[in-house]
Each structure stands twice: as structure tokens, then as C-alpha cells.
Amino acid sequence: MERTLIYNIHQLLGVTDNDSPQNLNPLAGKNLRNLKVLEDAWLEITDGLISDFGVLEDLNKEQLNRANKVIDAQRGVLGPSWCDSHTHLVFAQPREEEFVMRILGKSYEEIAAAGGGILNSAKKVQQAAEELLLESAYRRLNEIMAMGTGAVEIKSGYGLTPESELKMLRVIRSLKDKAPIPIKSTFLGAHAIPAEYKSSPEAYVDLVIEKMLPEVADQGLADYIDVFCDRGFFTPQQTDRILEAGLKRGLKAKIHANELDYSGGVQVGVKHHAVSVDHLECTGEDEIQSLLNGSTIPTLLPQTAFFLNIEYPPARKIIDAGLPVALASDYNPGSSPSGNMFFTVALACIHMKMLPEEAINAATINGAHAMEIQDIAGSIQKGRAANFWLTEPISSYNFLPYSFGRTPLKSIFINGNTFSTI
Ligand code: NIG
Ligand code: FE
């Protein structure tokens, strides 16, 4: 038996047990700030799983003696690995040229309408060899794991042809096979309307439903279906058709909604019992009311608002209405070229007025709910995989969002092993 004991932990975050309510439902409203923290703690790992933890005064000699390895945490903070429930980390090339165009005054929508944006990424993915896509995506996966992510959802959506969408989804399947962490795969054929369908968008929706979806479902390549339901992309009616077809094929929805406008995306997602509706920069009373009537998780992506310089989603209004919130990075080449969840959490605190406790819960256990893996990830619980991050000595967990951009990590544990990208 391999036993590791980590002691001298200043704060052990996100502790749960079998009966914790957050294992059943995402933390919502006032409960979102219920982050269980053990001060001056220790944690034991046995064969890759969390086997026990507690406060230092209860640590007995026997526990110390039976460990093969003892690690002094030197008063660092230990938290459950981030559960990043929305990314697009399979792509062929970055898009710095559009970044510069935006600095010079063009908007994200203008660039997209001129054939840039998602269509630009699609052209490059269509031309890219599958092995090269896998190689670069695997590098990005390692990069986010090194920043504390321990579960991730990854979308297709830069293929936009049957062959290339399947190619992307096969890359995600290979990532699932290679990676030591849980990965969920989402089919996003309806990410943008390809130029050749500009005058007949319904024909593209037909292609997604009649050609792509059956193959994706038959080959078991996706866990979820997604649509970019927004101004200039897909209408609520088109989204409705796609989500209905997805459900018939056994794919629940996780959709992009209300990033650019009050698009009706939230309502259509709730109507189809989407696991989550993501973005929500444009959220008013109607959207909040609709969310209150369902169990769909509002997922906020503050890095996108930061990078595109648009309004942040009204997190406070959403939480204060009694709803849950999940936080994700949206790692993608166009609107959020970073998968650093420490930065996501910092932005949530700084720009969306979320308390550190709320942001940490939203990026861990609620993110796990947004991928339906809440029973295996998102908290420190006996019997779960030993997936967590440990910081340098810091004064409290509040220091993490406060010292934005710094990511003061000392080590990362995945299945009980220290993770290194080298
Ligand atoms: O989540 N909003 C739609 N899709 C992505 C951006 C895609 C891109 O610009 O490449 C997002 O922001
Ligand atoms: Fe996205």
C-alpha cells in the first residue's frame, strides 16, 4: 500500500462527506458561500485516493508511522482541483492577429462577420492533421493541469464540416484515453454558420442534425450537445431544433447563450433541461426567472468578458436571486486564450463581486455539477481521487484572488502523484 501524509496545511479547502448537500445539488444563493475549511490540517493519500484528513491536533503517531512518505506543506493552502466545465482547447492555431485588430478598433462581431473569428479557426482545423491537433491539445491539457485543473469539458466546433467535427471529437476521445483526469466531450457543430451557408443557414442546421449528429451519436463521440445561440450566430428556433434532435440521440445540452445579446438562449436551454447555459453576459429579469423555474446551471466565463472588454455577467444578481453559479475558463483561441482557473476566480471576485468562498465553490463543486461528475470530483472527500493543488505558504485563501495573475502554486497532485509537465 502506498501511503502519503501531508501535514502542516494552513487551510484545507472544500471538504465534504457523503451527506454534504453539495454532492446532490449545486450550491445556490446564500449557500454558495459555504466553503468548509479546516485550519491547521493534514491529509492522507492511500493508493491514489484521499483516505483521511483532519486537524493537526488529532493527528496520531500511528498515522504518521504508517505513511511511506511524509510531506511538510509548510503552511500552504490545499484546495480541490479546479473543475473547468467549458473549454475549446482543441484548436490548430492561435489568433493574435485578431487581438491586434481589436486593439485597433474592430469588434469581435465585426471580425467574425468578415470571416475571421470562429470561421478563421475552422479553416485551420480543417487543414490540420489529426495527430498534430492531438499533440497541441495534449500540450494545452498539461498546461491547465499544471495550473490546478483536475477535470475539464472540451468542445468541438472548429470543424464545421462533418469530417472535421468528427476529427475534433476523435481528438477529444484520444485525450480522454491519455489523460489521468475526467474529461467530458461536447459536440458543437452549431458554433458558427460557414460562409457557404451564409444565405441558407437552415441548410447548415439540417446538416448538423441530419448528417453530423447521427454519426457523433452512433460513434459515441460526445457526452453533450452545444449551440452558440446568439445574435449573428444561431437563433433560438434553430437552437430549439438542434437541442431536441440531440436529446433524441441521448445528448443533453450545455449551450452558449446571451454573450452578445438578450438572445433567448437561456430560455431555450432551460426549456430543454440543459445541464448548463454558459456566458450570460446579457442576463436580465426574464433570464433569471427562467433559470429559477428549472435546474439548469448558469455558468459564467469572466475571462471572456475581460479579454473582449465586454460587460461581465451580473453574478451578484444571479446568486442573490437564489441561483447557483459555476465558473469556467472558456479556454479558446478567440475570446479567452488562457485556461488559468486561478485567474478566472480572481476576475470573478474583482469584477463580479463574488466572495472568494463563492468563487472557489463555483470553480470546483459547482463546475463538477456542470459536468455531472459531482460524485467523483470538486471536493476533498474520503474515497475520492487525490486531485488537488497546494500553494506556497500564504496568509489565507483570500490571498489567491487578491494576488491575481500570480498563481502561487507549490505542487499539483493528480491521483495522489505529484504532477509535472516535464
Ligand atoms: O465561448 N462564443 C462562442 N464561442 C467561443 C469563442 C470562439 C472563438 O472566438 O473562437 C466562446 O467565447
Ligand atoms: Fe465557449
State pLDDT tens for residues 142-153: 999 999 999 999
- Which domains does the chain carry? 3-81+379-418 (2.30.40.10), 82-369 (3.20.20.140)
Nearest CA to ligand 1 atom 12: 335
Q: What is the pLDDT of residues 240-289, one digit of tens each?
A: 999 999 999 999 999 999 999 999 999 999 999 999 999 999 999 999 99
Contacts with 58 (C-beta within 8 Å, 6 or more apart), sequence order: none
pLDDT score of 98: 95
More confident residue, 167 or 422: 167
d(CA 391, CA 111): 40
* Cell numbers for 101: 485588430
Q: What is the pLDDT of residues 4-56, one digit of tens each?
A: 999 999 999 999 999 999 999 999 999 999 999 999 999 999 999 999 999 99
Ligand with smallest separation from the Cα of 118: 1
Backbone φ and ψ of 320, nearest 5°? -70, -15
Residue 422's pLDDT band (cuts 50, 70, 90): very low
Q: Is there an atom of ligand 1 within 6 Å of 333 CB?
A: yes
Cα 138–Cα 297–Cα 258 angle in degrees, nearest 5: 85
Pocket test for ligand 1, best of 98, 108, 118, 156 (most atoms within 8 A of CB): 118
Q: What is the pLDDT of residues 122-144, one digit of tens each?
A: 999 999 999 999 999 999 999 99
Stretch 398-421: mean pLDDT, rounded?
A: 92
- Pair type for strands 3-13 and 37-46: antiparallel
DSSP 8-state class, residue 348: H
174 CB burial (10 A radius; 0-12, 13-18, 19+): middle
pLDDT score of 346: 98
Q: Is there an atom of ligand 1 within 6 Å of 121 CB?
A: yes
d(CA 197, CA 202): 8
- Coil, helix or strand at residue 294: coil
pLDDT score of 307: 96
DSSP 8-state class, residue 48: T
pLDDT score of 61: 87
pLDDT score of 224: 98
d(CA 390, CA 236): 43
Stretch 356-383: mean pLDDT, rounded?
A: 98
CA 141–ligand 2 middle distance (angstroms)? 16
Q: What is the pLDDT of residues 56-66, one digit of tens each?
A: 999 988 888 99
d(CA 329, CA 322): 23
Compute the mean pLDDT over every residue in the chain, rounded to the nearest whole number: 96
The strand ranges marked E within 233-382 are 252-257, 276-279, 297-300, 326-327
Half-sphere exposure of 304 (CA within 13 A, CB side): 25
d(CA 359, CA 356): 5
Residue 401's pLDDT band (cuts 50, 70, 90): very high
Residue 115's pLDDT band (cuts 50, 70, 90): confident
More confident residue, 116 or 35: 35
Cross-strand partners of 155: 186
Residue 421's pLDDT band (cuts 50, 70, 90): low
CA 332–ligand 1 middle distance (angstroms)? 7
d(CA 147, CA 10): 20
Stretch 73-99: mean pLDDT, rounded?
A: 97
Residue with cell 448528417: 211
* Cell numbers for 420: 509535472
Q: What is the pLDDT of residues 193-244, one digit of tens each?
A: 999 999 999 999 999 999 999 999 999 999 999 999 999 999 999 999 999 9
Contact assessment for residue 256 and residue 228, using Cβ atoms and an 8 Å cutoff: yes
Q: Buried b vs exposed e over 358-392: b needs ≥16 C-beta within 10 Å?
A: bbbbbbbbbbbbbbbbbeebbbbbeebbbbbbbbe
Nearest CA to ligand 1 atom 1: 330
Percentage of the chain beyond pLDDT 70 is 100
* Cell numbers for 137: 491539445
Provide Rg for the chain, Cα atoms: 21
